[in-house]
Structure 1
Amino acid sequence: MQLHDIETKAGYDLWAGSYEQTPNPVVAVDAQHSIRLLAPASGERILDAGCGTGRNLAAMLTAGAAPVGVDFSPGMLEVARIRCPEVPVFEADLQGVLPFGDAAFDAVYCALLGEHLDHPGRATAEYHRVLRPGGRLVFSVFHPMMAATGMSAQFEYDGRAYKLVAHPYTVDDYEGWLAESGFTAVQRHEFVGDDRMVAEVPWSSWLVGKPILLVLTAKKSAG
């Protein structure tokens, strides 16, 4: 089937209705690791930036945190509202000014979005602004080593196959944007495809041992 490139916002709007039913090895690996690294805690106010269908909001609620979601896709947010009706979610340009005050959150979580942004540095600067001093960021992306091969998220809709536009950023690019935004204590976590991924997405066996996920953790200086 011929693949058609589609811009991120339009793509996620089309994909929203079937996103949760689309087997995705990157999502499977991310689900193992990025929420674990976030370690949401009771009472924490957490921004899920690019919350999509709300797949991670439930885990934050279970931990006793007070999550807030933001996304630029109204289609994805419609699913998130049904999934987690008690969580406030907002539509906003993730590369513009977010609709929150300074120092509003204890943590910011951004999963599997960076490669689809035209200007990731604008987003990370906003994440830094809305974090309280001493707050933390967890930022995950499809691993740049695999993204450099041309792989990108794909889905089918109404008999056509689509491929989301993705940019070939490097690990250094992402770490540089975090540093320029003012983040400190940046740590790199890299994860490969494994048997748990294959159990969830059987066709992904060829990705075992290959770099699938990059997660960067960072802090906003307490000073």
Structure 2
Amino acid sequence: MAHNLPQDTQLGAPGALIGGTTGICGSSASSIWPSRTRHEVTATREALKLAYGFIVTCLHPDVEAARRAIAAHAGPAGRCLAALTCSSATRCHGYLVNTTRRRSDPDRPGRDVLLVTNINTARRRAFLDRRRAAARSAFDRGATLYDSTWGDLGPAHLRALADLARAVPPDGEILDAACGTGRSWGVLTATGRSVFAIDHSPGMLAVAHAKYPDIPCRELALQDLIEITELHARFHGLVCVDAMEWVGREDWPLVLGGFRRALRPGGWAYLSIEIPQDGDIEALARQISEEQVQGEIVSENGFYAYFPNAEEVASWVAEAGFLERSEHSGEGYRHLILQSDPV
């Protein structure tokens, strides 16, 4: 794919830019460029987000203050490529552009400045692919140990599974996505619901199958679910338990889109989302590599985790076509019960 912005896109020209995503890219673009309608902003943003990858930008009337703000968010992975006034007609080919919230500074009046930063998308994708391969290898090697150590679920997880099962028809089918060693299967089948499972680790699937030989399962990564058409609109419910922390930032919309396609209209999903604990918070404060984005941890032994903020998750969930029906916390996770849009 040629990573070039459309020829009629001029960065900094009033009415020509795109609204941001949430979190560090959160924005109300229509208030910054009022000539764009909200629909036009959203459509343009989504088209470019899918085509060009991840980038962070910042608006501020003072250039140096904007540089400091973007450095605080993007870290060493964010390279400041340009400082553009909003009235300029500068083109910046090859980069997706989002905007953060306008930062008002009444003591420093002046024109808004757009700072553009970039992470090389090819290197970033290679980084995420390496992390996925390392995770699969680690789970293959340690599947038996994993099952003996973390095979039992706590009350908060069991409550969410029970909530999900009650929402699904008595004869409904539930997809366990990233099933691991089948920790949820006994709970779900005890309710009378049937289970179909996927996981990217054959080692984990082997342990699960040894415990529950009658439950069908398939080797499949979360990121690839969206492409498997025979699973689309098949399931009444879906669970993804303690696995989303292994999904990189760019892949969250892809994975949630796969969940949405796998469910029937109005189907239900349970996602657990890890909450950073003390050790994680300490690690998140450290300097990150040029391949990483904020919110990621990569340890010396290859362990990977990504902790999106609540605003990012809410945005991705809504964009995928889900409605949040309930949430509770416990055992280091947020437990979300979602329903796919029945339309």
Please tell me the TM-score bracket, short chain as reference: 0.7 to 0.9
Alignment gaps of 5+ in structure 1: 152-160, 194-211
C-alpha contact 2:199 2:220 (8 A) present in aligned 1: yes
Q: CA deviation at 1:191?
A: 2.0
CA distance in 1, matches of 2:194, 2:225: 21
CA distance in 1, matches of 2:301, 2:144: 14
Residue 206 of structure 1: aligned partner: none
Q: Secondary structure at the match of 2:231?
A: coil
Instruction: Tell me how large the CA RMSD over aligned residues is.
Output: 2.6
Q: Whose strand fraction is larger, Structure 1's or Structure 2's?
A: 1
CA distance in 2, matches of 1:72, 1:121: 18
Residue 317 of structure 2 is aligned to residue 191 of structure 1: no
Per-residue displacement from partner, 1:99-145 (whole Å, max 9, x unpaired)?
Answer: 33321000111111111112122111011011111111111122246
Residue 236 of structure 2: aligned partner: 106
Residue 307 of structure 2 is aligned to residue 168 of structure 1: yes
Identity of aligned residues (%): 25
CA distance in 1, matches of 2:160, 2:301: 26
Label 1:68 to 1:164 Cα distance change in 2 as closer, same or farther (>3 A).
same
Per-residue displacement from partner, 1:144-170 (whole Å, max 9, x unpaired)?
Answer: 46654449xxxxxxxxx9563101311
Per-residue displacement from partner, 1:40-62 (whole Å, max 9, x unpaired)?
Answer: 55311100001110011111111
TM-score (norm 2): 0.50
Q: Secondary structure at the match of 2:314?
A: helix
Correspondence for 1:80 among 208, 228, 232: 208
Letter in 2 for 1:14: R
CA distance in 1, matches of 2:216, 2:159: 25
Residue 181 of structure 2 is aligned to residue 53 of structure 1: yes
CA distance in 1, matches of 2:150, 2:186: 20
Residue 265 of structure 2 is aligned to residue 133 of structure 1: yes
Per-residue displacement from partner, 1:46-88 (whole Å, max 9, x unpaired)?
Answer: 0000111001111111111110000001110001111111110
Q: Secondary structure at the match of 1:96?
A: helix
CA distance in 1, matches of 2:181, 2:338: 25
CA distance in 1, matches of 2:157, 2:338: 19
CA distance in 2, matches of 1:23, 1:109: 17
Aligned length: 190
CA distance in 1, matches of 2:191, 2:174: 11
Per-residue displacement from partner, 1:168-198 (whole Å, max 9, x unpaired)?
Answer: 31122222221111112x14523245xxxxx
Letter in 2 for 1:107: G
CA distance in 1, matches of 2:232, 2:256: 14
Structure showing greater Rg: 2
C-alpha contact 1:29 1:213 (8 A) present in aligned 2: no
Residue 17 of structure 1: aligned partner: 144
Alignment gaps of 5+ in structure 2: 1-130, 285-299
- Greater relative CO (CA pairs within 8 A, separation 6+): 1
